[in-house]
Chains A and B, each alone.
Chain A
Amino acid sequence: MSLSHLELLEAESVHIMREVAATSSNPVMLYSVGKDSAVMLRLALKAFAPGKLPFPVLHVDTTWKFKEMIAFRDKMVEDNDLNLLVHINAEGVKKGIGPFSHGSAVHTDIMKTVGLKQALDKYSFDAAFGGARRDEEKSRAKERIFSFRSAQHRWNPKNQRPELWNIYNSRINKGESVRVFPLSNWTELDIWQYIHLENIPIVPLYFAANRPVVERDGQLIMVDDNRMPIHADEKIMEKMVRFRTLGCYPLTGAVESEADTLEGIIAEMLLARTSERQGRVIDKDADGSMEQKKQEGYF
């Protein structure tokens, strides 16, 4: 009997993680607290069991994450005995950068992309795992599993290293790094199926509940704290909503939903007619904007 597709994906991801641990001198796993990170973390724990993770996990905190995400993160760290590093772009905080005052593009660039680059430089990480999947977006569909970055953290999509079989080239010169995507070949459905099969804990925000939201530019934005300015024509409403992806709360649109179980979420996803990234404000700035951001160092 041969392996099912989920077993094959799982084996591939484990192989990738062990390869990085064996060939990089200072790897780190980016942990964004979302569902993909949850799967990536579970796979890493399996790859090195009964040992502990041979690398730290890094959370680049933009200071605008949902409160529930931070609480969930801390619980995962405790339950799994993880070595968590949290990095916040102190300069950005000092300048008061935020999504409401500076807009989504500036906020994401300074607090997320620049923050990430700061953290990678600070600890001199030479390999960083990210939970991105090729089915998410067109330029991601083109990216290698081991994706080379220059010393300036830039991606050159026109000249990627060939990547043959499962033989990965992680060699770099000083200052350069690789971003490694162990979930490259997983789809959104695979992620949810695996969470279901393995009973993996996820942030409660994925489940529908009554939450205070405001309708803004066609998106339902949750009022997660009192930093959110409420415009005169806006009204805070209690709605049964959930989130398909998680990021900074002001930049993540909620969907109205009754799905408060995992099965309910999956059923809703299967029947959905829009992709998960639709709830992300950042992707819509310009045609090919993800490719641009990735070239600049975004994950």
Chain B
Amino acid sequence: MSHRSGIIENDISAYLNAQAEKSFLRFITCGSVDDGKSTLIGRLLYDSKMIFEDQLAALENESKKHGTQGQNIDFALLVDGLAAEREQGITIDVAYRFFTTDKRKFIVADTPGHEQYTRNMATGASTADLAVLMIDARKGILTQTKRHSFIVSLLGIKNIVLAINKLDLVDFNQEIFEQINQEYREFASELGFDEIVSIPISALAGDNILENSENTPWYSGPTLMEHLETVEISSEQNDFFFRLPVQWVNRPNHEFRGFSGNISSGSVSVGDEIIALPSLRTSIVKSIIGTKGKKNSAETGEAITLCLVDEIDISRGDVIANVNDRPEVTDQFQAHIIWMHDDDMLPGRPYLFKTTNKTIEGVITELKYKVNVNSLEHESSKILKLNEVGLVNINLGEPIGFDAFNNNKVLGSFIIIDKFTNNTVACGMINFGLRRASNIHWQAVDVNKESRAKQKHQKPKVLWFTGLSGSGKSTIANLVEKKLHAMGNHTYLLDGDNVRHGLNKDLGFTDVDRVENIRRIGEVAHLMVDSGLIVLTAFISPFRAERQMVRKMMGDGEFIEIFVDTPLEVCEQRDIKGLYKKARAGQLKNFTGIDSSYEVPQIAEIHVNTVDNSANEVAEFIIGKLMA
């Protein structure tokens, strides 16, 4: 920063005022491994004098130890901040770096190139306005270039800089530059970018980074820094209608009730008429509190607290919007998702969906197709694996107010969270709402569950036996049913024999089919409980998520989970049907306990031990628990 020392020494106040007015650009660098992303950032920081002496000394030290540039400074070490990254010489996670010039402040996210770290690349891209896509001039466009372009376009970035790097290694050949430029524009034509600017550079040597290079007399465009300092990011959000996702209801006392959040688009003024979603109640803006106190109007991006003229019921998760142009309200929509976890995405499995201000349970009802991120072709699939992109239909437990992601990034985006591990497993971008559910109404009936149960003198419920193959589920369930029957109860036992051969004979044993198997059994059990029966089910039902899903279908106290806890060794020793032997020999795929997992229940109502007790003792124990 020394070139500004004159101004700083002379008039610090003027300098500070000028700083406060600066605009802001967030961008990412992406592209293939070894295309020089980290080197470019190191170069930008170094050239804009953002590296302090102690950091430079440490860098020189480390360059000698881990660097790949011989005795020269390895700029990549500046951004690869984790010990594992420096040792392996690769970027694992996104790093955020900061630099400033006289015109702008920048946050740059250096994102990993390896396919296995795509989720970290998406993390960096989600908050960026622009992407600098690096290409090694010697290698041209690689599949990673295409994959990153696609991810970047999915996440709504409209401005691309194609930095054709290492031009010094191809003698600053203009033809090579033009050829890559042309080829990329053809590839990117269907990705919906507003602007692609191609710049010939050498990140290592500094050509066309800050100053125009003498080595490229044929290039008359801006240097990288000139472009970053002046590029205008289309700010459509500001022209869009007013939206305030309510994040927090501020109620310090009886006199004050305000709705806090950041304006995701448009602007609002005192006196405006607003509507709250999904309740559709309307009111007038009474006052606006910004970060500097009361104000008459506020615009996109501001953190505000809104007070209304009427006392209408609004809570966290609602959206306050312009009354003349409101978001859609739906519980079903179509969206692109990027799957980010080692556990596969399974349609039908309940997940948590977190939008900007609300967390709701829901399911992915259908995977329409997955996109081959390297060729952009659509491929059919039943599941999504780590780093795969798909177009899906989603059904939420309750309606939300939303806009299409293309119109409003904030109200059109969501993440998906695993209910049990709480990991973020995916991110999604909403395309449009689906309205099929609104046409199916429940048939109101006069004879209901209560009247049917009363006639049978029993409380309908499901006894859900879960455990490994050979644990004794069917044997015990059978004994329990006999005892219940003898006591005059109306019961029905669902097990593999009467379900797998009929209702579910089209299903196999993959994870996807196991989820569907349990969903159907759950629905059948639900109908039987509705008819007043006591239903017993004996299925391995290995996954917590599906057992939880069935539990949710039933009323309070109607779902009794019985964990038949027999250790794998014991089951395998018993091996009544000879299945374990086959599985061990590799003749049976996806066998629970061998090459498919069993998730032990955490909240089973009844837990039984078949090692120390006979089947009959266990059955008596269960009856005792049920009577208690």
Q: What is A's interface to B at a CB cutoff of 8 Å?
A: 1-8, 10-11, 14-15, 18-19, 21-23, 46-52, 134-135, 137-142, 144, 157-158, 160-167, 169, 171-173, 184-185, 187, 189, 193, 196-197, 263-264, 266-267, 270-275, 278, 287-288, 291-292
Contact = CB atoms under 8 A, between A and B. Distances in A.
Contacts of B100: 187, 189
6 contacts: A10-B291, A11-B303, A162-B427, A171-B352, A189-B100, A193-B20
Interface of B: 1-2, 4-5, 8-9, 12-13, 15-16, 19-24, 52-55, 62, 65, 78-84, 86, 92-98, 100, 105, 107, 119-120, 122-123, 126-127, 235, 238, 247-248, 250-252, 256, 260-262, 289, 291, 299-303, 305, 316, 340, 352, 354-356, 359, 409-410, 413-415, 417, 422-424, 427
B232 to A, nearest CB: 11
A47 B247 CA distance: 11
Contacts of B305: 49
A196 B13 CA distance: 10
Given A167-B354, A270-B1, A161 B24 contact: no
Nearest to B258: A50
B248 A167 contact: no
Contacts of A167: 354-356, 413-415
Contacts of B23: 2, 4-5
B262 A134 contact: no
Contacts of B24: 4-5, 8
A278 B409 contact: no
Contacts of A139: 81-82
A46 B22 CA distance: 23
Contacts of B53: 273-274
A10 B303 contact: yes
Nearest to B427: A164
Contact of B52 (A166, A184, A272): A272
A142 B105 contact: no
A187 B247 contact: no
A213 B100 CA distance: 35
Among B98, B127, B413, the one with the most A-chain Cβ atoms within 10 Å of its Cβ is B98
Contacts of B423: 161
Q: Please provide the 3 A-B residue pairs with the shortest distance between their CB atoms, ordered closest to farther.
A: A138-B81, A51-B252, A5-B24
Given A51-B252, A274-B52, A162 B291 contact: no
Nearest to A48: B250
Given A158-B82, A270-B1, A291-B82, A11 B96 contact: no
A142 B12 CA distance: 32
A291 B83 contact: yes
A269 B511 CA distance: 59
Nearest to A3: B301
A15 to B, nearest CB: 5
Nearest to B302: A11
A215 B299 CA distance: 53
A10 B260 CA distance: 14
Nearest to B413: A165
B62 A164 contact: no
A271 B409 CA distance: 39
B413 A49 contact: no
Contact of B119 (A135, A162, A166, A185): A162
